[in-house]
């Protein structure tokens, strides 16, 4: 799937377990490992991540579905359908290039002629229209945190786009959109961004796969 490149079948799972300031309402985090198990530090019990995928790496860099339902409603639906975790995608450029991350939701929708989505967002999530897309990413993570949902931040691509084929230029080493230094900068920025988010009650992992 993401970041796939035929030459790089080797799976790379990089979990950067960040030392977040954890608020008192979180119960199963922080997490750590014991042999092959993921466990809760506080209880010592095993934690199973049951994640739903939520896409935010496509061209507009806006979490999909916010034109259909309010953000807090979606978070609560995730919980009520039995999930405790979201694998939330992000493109590297959103955190490394100001002309990507600093564009507002409204500007981004306009850029891609997404007028139906714009009217849906105006109705369901009006407060996000003037947010920068990188700030929206953070707002979604915060809302998930408020609902005690754990988040695996998934660095899905470099250039915001649908993926993944061996020839889309958006995978790993040697691909036109992949600059290893910029990639590392993106990972560091995301780590810092989410470490400083006080409302986040979850253990945030940065996840990369080949
Ligand atoms: C969680 O437990 C691990 C393993 O015992 C430990 O290394 C780590 O410091 C703990 N983290 C926190 C935030 O307590
Ligand atoms: C948006 O619409 C304008 C005017 O019809 C067009 O020139 C432009 O190519 C469209 N952009 C996209 C991303 O489809």
DSSP 91-143: EHHHHH-HHHHTSBHHHHHHHTT-HHHHHHHHHH-GGGTTSBHHHHHHHHHHH
Global confidence as pTM? 0.83
Please, are residues 155 and 187 in contact by the beta-carbon 8 Å criterion? yes
Q: Express each pLDDT in 90-149 by its tens digit.
A: 999 999 999 999 999 999 999 999 999 999 999 999 999 999 999 999 999 999 988 988
Output the CA torsion 99→100→103→105 (10° steps): 170
Write the CB contacts of 188 (distance below 8 Å, at least 6 apart in sequence): none
Closest ligand to Cα 59 = 2
Tokens found for residue 54: 């939520």
pLDDT the model gives residue 191: 85
- For residue 198, pLDDT beyond 50: no
Q: Express each pLDDT in 45-57 by its tens digit.
A: 998 989 999 999 9
pLDDT greater at residue 47 or residue 179: 179
Residue located nearest, by CA, to atom 6 of ligand 2:
113
What is the C-alpha separation between 140 and 57, in angstroms, rounded?
A: 13
Choice among 6-20, 39-53, 161-175, 191-205 with the minimum mean pLDDT = 6-20
Tokens found for residue 152: 């695996």
Distance (angstroms) between ligand 1 centre and the Cα of 43 equals: 12
Per DSSP (E only), the strands in the chain are: 31-34, 37-40, 51-54, 85-91, 150-157, 204-207
What is the C-alpha separation between 196 and 188, in angstroms, rounded?
A: 13
Handedness of CA 139, 171, 87, 11 (dihedral sign): negative
Q: What is the largest CA-CA distance in the chain?
A: 50
Q: Express each pLDDT in 16-34 by its tens digit.
A: 333 333 333 344 667 778 8
- Residue of 27, 30, 42, 203 to test ligand 1 pocket, by largest number of atoms within 8 Å of CB: 30
Q: Is 27 helix (H, G, I), strand (E, B) or coil?
A: coil
pLDDT the model gives residue 207: 54
Residue located nearest, by CA, to atom 7 of ligand 1:
32
Write the CB contacts of 189 (distance below 8 Å, at least 6 apart in sequence): 95, 96
């Amino acid at each position: 799937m993401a970041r796939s490149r035929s030459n790089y079948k080797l799976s790379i799972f990089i979990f950067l377990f960040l030392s977040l300031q954890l608020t008192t309402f979180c119960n199963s985090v922080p997490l750590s490992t014991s042999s092959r198990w993921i466990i809760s530090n506080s209880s010592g019990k095993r934690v199973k991540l049951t994640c739903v995928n939520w896409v935010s790496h496509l061209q507009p860099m806006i979490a999909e579905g916010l034109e259909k339902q309010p953000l807090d409603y979606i978070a609560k639906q995730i919980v009520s359908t039995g999930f405790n975790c979201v694998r939330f995608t992000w493109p590297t450029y959103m955190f490394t290039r100001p002309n990507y991350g600093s564009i507002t939701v409204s500007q981004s929708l306009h850029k891609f002629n997404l007028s139906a989505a714009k009217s849906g967002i105006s109705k369901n999530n009006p407060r996000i229209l003037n947010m920068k897309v990188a700030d929206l990413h953070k707002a979604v993570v915060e809302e998930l945190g408020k609902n005690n949902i754990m988040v695996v931040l998934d660095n899905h691509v470099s250039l915001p786009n649908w993926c993944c084929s061996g020839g889309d230029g958006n995978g790993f080493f040697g691909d036109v959109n992949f600059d290893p230094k910029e990639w590392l900068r993106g990972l560091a920025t995301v780590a810092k961004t989410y470490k400083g988010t006080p409302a986040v009650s979850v253990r945030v992992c940065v996840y990369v796969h080949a």
